[in-house]
Homo-oligomer: A and B are copies of this chain.
Amino acid sequence: MKISARNAMKGVVKSVVPGMVTTEVVIEVAPGLEVASVITKSSAESLALKVGDEAYAVVKASDVMVALD
């Protein structure tokens, strides 16, 4: 599937923490650069995500803000 989301950052799954409805997944997309995600628990189970997997952090451009120091 080719998706319109502008941002698909390839990396490695560092942690998978399931809750009751949602699961937090952290992906390291560059050395020292981690991206945290919260997805539904059933999506995480459907993807069978586990630490060490190659995975993408995908973000729609309209969900990205810009900040300055």
Contacts and interface: CB of A to CB of B under 8 A. Distances in A.
Chain multiplicity (copies): 6
Contact of A47 (B2, B9, B35, B61): B2
Q: Number of contact residues on A: which range applies?
A: 35 or more
A22 B21 contact: yes
A1 to B, nearest CB: 5
Nearest to A25: B66
A22 B25 contact: no
Contact of A68 (B6, B42, B47, B59): B47
A38 B67 contact: no
Contacts of A40: 4, 6, 24, 36, 38, 61-62
B17 A65 contact: no
